[in-house]
Each structure stands twice: as C-alpha cells, then as structure tokens.
Structure 1
Amino acid sequence: MFAPINAVCALDAGVIALLGSVPQRFYAFGDAPQNVPKPYAVWQTIGGDPENYLAGRPDADGYSLQIDVYAESGKDARAVAKALRDAIELHCNITRWGGDSRDPVTKNYRYSFDVNWIVLR
C-alpha cells in the first residue's frame, strides 16, 4: 500500500553516490535519525486514491508523494534532488517543483518536489 520509492532509489548509482547504501539516508517522513549526516532526504504520502471501477476491485493505487532533501549547501540539496529525480522519473510523474529554502534556525538547505506514482496491486 505504498509507492516503492525506497526500493527504486536503493538500486540507483546516482542516489547511492550521494545518500549512501545500507542504510541509505532516504527515510519515510519522521524516520530520519536525530543528527543524521547531511545530505539526506525524506518522503511522505500526501494523497492518493485507488483506481476504482464500476465492477470489481481496483487493480492499482495512485499515490502523491512529497520529497524533501536537506543539505549543508544549496548546491548539495539540488544535486541530491536531481539524483532522486533521475532515479524515479521513469516510474512516476513529477507534479511540482517546490523550490529551495533555508531553515532560519538549523541553517539547513532544503529542496522539495512532489510526484504521482501508480502502483499495480
């Protein structure tokens, strides 16, 4: 019942180069450890629905995901966002570029984007 974003990114050389492998610094929202090394990224489901039909059970589910990258520089945040984009865009559709920001307290840079992913059951 979730988009296979971690499974896809765990196999991508570009993502591995920037976020490591086992464990990869790409977490479900709220699961990033305290003081995790940067850069890292998180994702969360922000919407979705089953592919409903008049007769029968749905054979696919649609998910909208938000992906947020955190880094010590804007350049690093953009590089990770690009690697994630390249890893997943053949599996889903990017629907929003959220842009750059910087947290005034932590001074972390952030890049955000959204995707829609259809998963066959």
Structure 2
Amino acid sequence: MLPKIQHLLKASPAVTALIGAGTDPITDPVRVYRHGDAPQGVVRPYVTWSVPAGDVENTFDGADADFFRVHVDCWSDGDVEVEQLAKAVRAALEVEAYCAGYYADERNLETKRYRIGFAFDFILSRE
C-alpha cells in the first residue's frame, strides 16, 4: 500500500555503499527508518522517511490509484557525505517517483548532523 522506499534504496548500489546493504541485521543493517525517526545512537549516515500527506483517486472505470507525498531526509556527520547520500537517494527514488522539491539543507544545532530533505510524489495503482 505504501511506496516501497526501503526496497528502492536497497536496490541502489550507490545508496547501500553509504548506508549499508542490509545483508545482516547486526553487522550490515540498512539504515533507512520510517516515520521520520531513527533510533538513538544510530550509525551515520542514514535516511529517514515519512508520509505526511496522500490522496485517493477513484474512477468509474476502475483505474484507481493512491497518491503519496513522501518526505525523505538524508543525515550525516559530514557535509560532503550528506550531499553524496542525497544525490544517490534522489536517483534511486526517481525510478518510481517525481522529486517535488527540497525542503531542508541544514545542520541540526543540537546533534550537529547535516540534513538534506526532499519531497517525492508517488502514484500507486490499486489494480
């Protein structure tokens, strides 16, 4: 039902080179977290995502679809690394989504982590 964010990111060698491939949950976890929140003390870099908005398209001919606006945040301790991750994440997600824009390019005052945030639009058929 929701966009397959985890699947798309795991399918990208450029992304998994930075955030893990998920080959082992202990030694190589993929660091992609839903609901816009990552666990305390997570290894950086990592990605968080959430779905703040969506819409339903119902048609008489049965071509029903769901629209999702997905916020994706790339986090790192390094400015260069967060840019590399953001570039890789955008390329991975644009296989199935439209990048609707940027909403964050900042450094968190408390954690000192860098963040680049995107909004992606997914349209998923309910066939």
CA–CA distance in structure 2, aligned partners of residues 102 and 31 of structure 1: 16
Is 1:74 aligned to residue 79 of structure 2? Answer: yes
Show the counterpart of 2:56: 50
Cα separation, partners in 2 of 1:19 and 1:57, compared to 1, 3 Å: same
1:5-16 pair list within 5 angstroms: 5-16=5-16
AA of the residue aligned to 1:37:
V
CA–CA distance in structure 2, aligned partners of residues 80 and 30 of structure 1: 17
The runs of 4+ residues in structure 1 deviating greater than 3 Å are: none
Secondary structure of the corresponding residue to residue 18 of structure 2: helix
CA–CA distance in structure 1, aligned partners of residues 15 and 113 of structure 2: 20
Aligned-residue offset at 1:32: 2.0
Structure 2, unmatched stretches of 5+, are: 23-28
Secondary structure of the corresponding residue to residue 15 of structure 2: helix
Instruction: Note the aligned Cα RMSD (angstroms).
Output: 1.5
Equivalent in 99, 102, 111 of residue 97 of structure 1: 102
Kept in 1: contact 2:68–2:122 (CA 8 A): yes
AA of the residue aligned to 1:93:
Y
Is 1:3 aligned to residue 3 of structure 2? Answer: yes
AA of the residue aligned to 1:47:
A
Aligned-residue offset at 1:59: 2.4
Show the counterpart of 1:40: 46
